[in-house]
Chain A
Amino acid sequence: MMTKKLLATTTALTLLMGTIAAFTSCTDKNGGDDSQTTSTATNDSTTTGTNDNKNNGKKVTLEVLTNRTDRDQDGTLDKLVEPFEQANNCEIKWTSYSDYSKDVPTRMSTDDYGDVLFIPDEVDVNDLGDFLVPLGTYDELKDKYNWVSKKMDSKKNVYGLAYGGNAMGILYNKKVWADAGITELPKTPEDFLADLKLIKEKTEAIPYYTEYADSSWTINQWCNLLVSASGNPGLENDLLTEKTDLFTPGNGYYDVMKLMYDVFSDPDLHEADPMTTEWESSKTWFGEGKIGTIVLGSWAISQFEEKAGDKAADVGYMPAPFTAADGKQYAQTDADFCVGVSKHSKDIDLSKKFVEWFVSESGFAFDEGMIPTPKGSEIPSNLDNFKDCVLFEKDVAPDDLIGKYAAIDTASEVGIWLGDTGNFKIQLAEAAFGNKGEEGFKAIIDEQNKKWADARDAELG
C-alpha cells in the first residue's frame, strides 16, 4: 500500500515537473528570440560607429565550425586566434567535425550552426542566402581576395571567403628524383615520361605509384591538372561556346589523359599490382624514398610531410608538366573550404570581422602550406617550384552558361569528376594496364566525345 502511494506521488511529481519545464523552456525560447531581435535591431542602428562599445560589458563568445579536427585538437587554432580575442575582447570557441560534410548540413537544418562556419559544399550556392550573411558583392571583393566567386550566388553576392587555396600539381620525392640524376623539373609530357624511366633505371624506387586500389577518388586527382595543362582559364566555357570535342589534342583534357595512359601503359613506370596499393601506407613509403611520384592536389603535401617525419624536406611539389603554346607553364589554383557568417550569429559584425581577419591576417593558410587568400600574398615555400609558373583561377561561367557544364557532364554520363566503375578514367587505366595501345586509347575517348557532344547539343540546342 505504502509503496503504491509513493509510486503514484512520484509519478505525479515527475509529470508536474515535466510540464513546468516544458512551459519555462517555451518562455525561455520566446525570451531568447526577443533578445535576439533587439540585438539585431541595435546592430542595425549602430553599424555606423559605436559597435565596439557594445562588447565592452560582456565578453562575446563566437562559435566557429571547422573540418580541421587535426588543428583543433593539437591547439593550433586556439593559439592562432589569441591576438584577435585580445583585440576584440571576445572568445573564439572552435567546434570541429571529422565528418564535416554530413554533420554540419544536419546541424544547419536548425537555427544553431555556430556564428562562423566553414561552408559545406552540400549547400547549393543559390541557397546560401537562406543560411548566411553576404560578406559583400563580387565586384567589391574581387580585387582584394582570390577565389571570391566560389561561394557566390547568381546575384553576385559573396557568402564566403576561402581560408586558403591549393595549387594543382604533382607530388614528387626530391631525393628520388635527384638520385636519378634529374636536375630540372619536366616541362613537357615527354620529359616527364623520360624522367620516370630514369628513376626506374637508376634507383630502387617505384617511379609512379598509381593508388589504383582507391581509384574511385585517387584517379580524379589527374583531373586537377586539366585546366593547368591547357593554360586557358576559360577552358570549360570555351568547350561550351566553341563546341569542340571534349578530348582534342592540345586542350588539356586530351593531353592529361594521354599522359596518364602512357604512364599506366608502361609496366616499368608503376607498381606491379595496381589492385593492391595502400593509400595510408603510401604516405610512409613515399617519405622513405620508395615511391618517386604521385599525382595529388597540394592538400596532400602536409599529410605526406607529417608521415615522412625527419625526411619531410624530401616532399616536393611540381607544376603539371605541360608547356602552353606561349612557352609558359601554367598552374591552376583553387579554394579550399570557404568561411561564412551564420544568419543567426550572435554578433554579425564581429563575425564578419573575424572572417576577414582569419582569411587574411591569421597566417593559417601560409602555415598550412596553402596559398593565402589576399591577392598578392607571399606563396609558402613548399610551392617554390611554382615561382616561374603563371598561377591563375578558373574563369567564372558567363551568366547564360552557369551550371551548363555540370548539367552536360551529368546528362552525358561522362562524369569528369567521378570515379565510378564505368568511368572513362577507369576504362583508360585498365586499357593501359592491359597494354591496349593507341587504338585502345582512341576507342575510349571517341566514345566519350560522342556522348559529350550529344548531351551538349541537347542541352544548348
Chain B
Amino acid sequence: MQEKRSFFEWLKTYDGQKFTTTILFLLIPLVLLVLFTFVPAFNMLIYSFQSRDLFKVKGWLGFDNYIRVFTDKEFLTTFKNSLYYLVGSFFQQGFALLVAAILCAEIRFKGFFKGVLFFPYLMNGVAVSIIFQRFFLKGNPPVSPEGTLNSIITAFGGESIKWLSDTERPWLVNICLVFVSIWRYIGFDIIMYMGAIQSISPDIYEAADLDGANPWQRFVYIIFPGIKPIISLQLILAVKGAISVFEIPYIITGGNFGTSTFVIKTIEMAFQKKKLGVASAMGIVLLIITIIVTVIQDYFFADKPVKKKKALPRASK
C-alpha cells in the first residue's frame, strides 16, 4: 500500500538519508570549488578587459590587453622560449617511452633503475634548480671554482663554457634549462608508460610470438595502440607544461638572459608592474591555449573502439 508521504517523512527513509548525505558531502567540495576556482576565474575574465592595478579600476579597454599579449615583443620572446620546452618535451616523451619499453623487458635490477629514474621527480623543484645552478656554474676566479660540468670538460682538456650567460650563443642557456626540465620530469613519464605497457594482457604478446612478430612489430601493433590514451594525455601535459614553465628558469636564471617564460612575465606584470589587467589577459590566454590543445588531442586520439561498439547494435537490427 502506497501512502502519501510528506517530503520530511521521505527524508527519514533510507533513500532520503542517502540523498541528504550525498548532498551534504558534495556541498563542501562544491562550495570550495566555486569559491576558490570559478569565482576568481570569472573575476579574472572581467579584469582582463580592464586597465587596473591591484586595487583600483582605471577604465575599460576591450580587447587591448589581449592584442598586447600577442604583439608586444617582450611576450613574443616568451612564446619563443616555450618552443624550446615543447621541442624538448618531444625528445623527453620519446626517450621515456624507450626507457619504459626496456624496463618492461626481462632485465636485472629493474626496481633499482626504476627508483633511480623516478627519484628526480620526487625532489623539490627548488632543490633541483640549485643543484643545476652548481652543475652549470662557470667559475669566477679568484672567488669561485668551476662548476661540475666545466670541471669535467677542463679535466679532459676542453675549454670551460659560460653555460648560463653566453651572450654569443643566446640559445645555449635555454637548452640547458630544457635539459634540467627533462631530467626532472622524465621519471614521471617513464612510470606512466610502464604502467600502461604492463596493463596490456600478456596473452596478446604470446599470440604475437606465435605469429612470429619481431620486437618492432610488437611495439607498433600491440604496445603503441595499447598506450595511445596515455600518449595523448602526455602530449597535452607537454604542451601545457611548455607554456607554463616557471620554477626552473625562475630560480636558475631569474628569467634573465632571454630565458623569461610566460608565467614569469605574468607574475611580473601583476605584482611588479602593477598591470593586473594585462596579467589577467595572459592568464586567460594560457587557459584558452590549454583548452585548444585538449580539443585537438580529443579529435586525433578519439577512442575509436567505443564508437564501433555504439555502431554494433544498429547493425544487428
Complex: A282 Cα to B144 Cα, angstroms: 10
Q: Which partner residue on chain B sits nearest A434 by CB separation?
A: B167
Complex: A448 Cα to B133 Cα, angstroms: 32
Of A20-28, A88-96, A414-422, the one touching chain B: A414-422
In the bound complex, do residue B272 and residue A415 qualify as a contact, i.e. CB atoms below 8 Å apart? yes
> Is A449 in contact with chain B by the CB < 8 A criterion?
no
In the bound complex, do residue A433 and residue B165 qualify as a contact, i.e. CB atoms below 8 Å apart? yes
Chain B residues with CB below 8 A from A215, complex form: 254, 256
A400-452 residues at the B interface, CB under 8 angstroms: 410, 413, 415, 418-422, 426, 430, 433-435
Complex: A213 Cα to B138 Cα, angstroms: 13
A179 → B minimal CB distance (Å): 14
In the bound complex, do residue B268 and residue A421 qualify as a contact, i.e. CB atoms below 8 Å apart? yes
Q: Decide yes or no: A421 and B254 within 8 Å by CB, A272-B162, A273-B138, A415-B273 being known contacts.
A: yes
Interface string of A197-222 (1 = CB under 8 A from B): 00000001110010011111000000
> Is B184 in contact with chain A by the CB < 8 A criterion?
no
Complex: A298 Cα to B253 Cα, angstroms: 27
> Is B142 in contact with chain A by the CB < 8 A criterion?
yes
Chain B residues with CB below 8 A from A212, complex form: 256
Chain A residues with CB below 8 A from B141, complex form: 272
In the complex, which of the residues A275, A410, A420, A434 contacts B253, with contact meaning CB atoms closer than 8 Å?
A: A275
Interface string of B235-276 (1 = CB under 8 A from A): 000000000000000000111111010001100100011110
B252 → A minimal CB distance (Å): 8
In the complex, which of the residues B74, B162, B168, B255 contacts A273, with contact meaning CB atoms closer than 8 Å?
A: B162
Complex: A422 Cα to B254 Cα, angstroms: 11
Chain A residues with CB below 8 A from B257, complex form: 275, 430
> Is A290 in contact with chain B by the CB < 8 A criterion?
yes
In the bound complex, do residue B144 and residue A278 qualify as a contact, i.e. CB atoms below 8 Å apart? yes
> Is B6 in contact with chain A by the CB < 8 A criterion?
no
Q: Which partner residue on chain B sits nearest A435 by CB separation?
A: B167
A170-227 residues at the B interface, CB under 8 angstroms: 204-206, 209, 212-216
Complex: A274 Cα to B254 Cα, angstroms: 12
Q: Which partner residue on chain A sits nearest B250 by CB separation?
A: A421
Chain B residues with CB below 8 A from A274, complex form: 165
Q: Decide yes or no: A272 and B260 within 8 Å by CB, A421-B265, A422-B265 being known contacts.
A: no
> Is B124 in contact with chain A by the CB < 8 A criterion?
no
In the bound complex, do residue A271 and residue B53 qualify as a contact, i.e. CB atoms below 8 Å apart? no
Complex: A215 Cα to B260 Cα, angstroms: 14
> Is B191 in contact with chain A by the CB < 8 A criterion?
no
In the bound complex, do residue B143 and residue A418 qualify as a contact, i.e. CB atoms below 8 Å apart? no
Complex: A433 Cα to B169 Cα, angstroms: 12
Q: How many residues of A contact B (CB 8 A)?
A: 35
Complex: A435 Cα to B74 Cα, angstroms: 21
In the bound complex, do residue B273 and residue A410 qualify as a contact, i.e. CB atoms below 8 Å apart? yes
Interface string of A264-303 (1 = CB under 8 A from B): 0000000111111110011001000011000000000000
In the bound complex, do residue A421 and residue B264 qualify as a contact, i.e. CB atoms below 8 Å apart? yes
Q: How many residues of B contact A (CB 8 A)?
A: 33
In the bound complex, do residue B53 and residue A273 qualify as a contact, i.e. CB atoms below 8 Å apart? no
Interface string of B96-137 (1 = CB under 8 A from A): 000000000000000000000000000000000000010011
Chain A residues with CB below 8 A from B274, complex form: 410
> Is B140 in contact with chain A by the CB < 8 A criterion?
yes
Q: Which partner residue on chain B sits nearest A276 by CB separation?
A: B137
Q: Decide yes or no: A421 and B164 within 8 Å by CB, A272-B140, A273-B139 being known contacts.
A: no
In the complex, which of the residues A204, A276, A422, A426 contacts B133, with contact meaning CB atoms closer than 8 Å?
A: A276
> Is B147 in contact with chain A by the CB < 8 A criterion?
yes
Complex: A422 Cα to B165 Cα, angstroms: 16
A261 → B minimal CB distance (Å): 14
Chain A residues with CB below 8 A from B140, complex form: 206, 271-273, 276-277
Chain B residues with CB below 8 A from A204, complex form: 142
Q: Decide yes or no: A272 and B139 within 8 Å by CB, A420-B272, A433-B165 being known contacts.
A: yes
Q: Decide yes or no: A275 and B273 within 8 Å by CB, A206-B140, A206-B142 being known contacts.
A: no
Interface string of A140-159 (1 = CB under 8 A from B): 00000000000000000000
Complex: A248 Cα to B168 Cα, angstroms: 30
B274-300 residues at the A interface, CB under 8 angstroms: 274-275
Chain A residues with CB below 8 A from B138, complex form: 272-273, 275-276
Q: Decide yes or no: A422 and B260 within 8 Å by CB, A276-B164, A415-B272 being known contacts.
A: yes
B274 → A minimal CB distance (Å): 5
Chain B residues with CB below 8 A from A419, complex form: 272
In the complex, which of the residues A272, A418, A434 contacts B272, with contact meaning CB atoms closer than 8 Å?
A: A418
In the bound complex, do residue A418 and residue B256 qualify as a contact, i.e. CB atoms below 8 Å apart? no
Interface string of B210-226 (1 = CB under 8 A from A): 00000000000000000
Complex: A212 Cα to B138 Cα, angstroms: 14
Chain B residues with CB below 8 A from A422, complex form: 74, 260, 265, 268
Complex: A430 Cα to B168 Cα, angstroms: 11
In the bound complex, do residue A275 and residue B142 qualify as a contact, i.e. CB atoms below 8 Å apart? no
In the bound complex, do residue A420 and residue B273 qualify as a contact, i.e. CB atoms below 8 Å apart? yes
Q: Decide yes or no: A433 and B164 within 8 Å by CB, A272-B141, A410-B53 being known contacts.
A: no
In the bound complex, do residue B139 and residue A285 qualify as a contact, i.e. CB atoms below 8 Å apart? no
Complex: A416 Cα to B162 Cα, angstroms: 29
In the complex, which of the residues A206, A214, A434 contacts B143, with contact meaning CB atoms closer than 8 Å?
A: A206
Interface string of B158-195 (1 = CB under 8 A from A): 00001011011000010000000000000000000000
Closest 5 CB pairs of A and B: A434-B167, A273-B138, A275-B165, A421-B255, A271-B140
* 9 examples of A-B residue contacts, CB within 8 angstroms: A204-B142, A214-B254, A272-B162, A273-B138, A273-B139, A275-B164, A276-B137, A420-B268, A420-B273
Q: Which residues of B contact A (CB under 8 A)?
A: 53, 74, 133, 136-144, 147, 162, 164-165, 167-168, 173, 253-258, 260, 264-265, 268, 272-275
Apart from A212-B256, A410-B274, list 10 A-B contacts with CB within 8 A.
Answer: A213-B254, A215-B254, A272-B141, A273-B139, A275-B138, A275-B173, A276-B136, A290-B142, A421-B256, A421-B268
Q: Which residues of A contact B (CB under 8 A)?
A: 204-206, 209, 212-216, 271-278, 281-282, 285, 290-291, 410, 413, 415, 418-422, 426, 430, 433-435
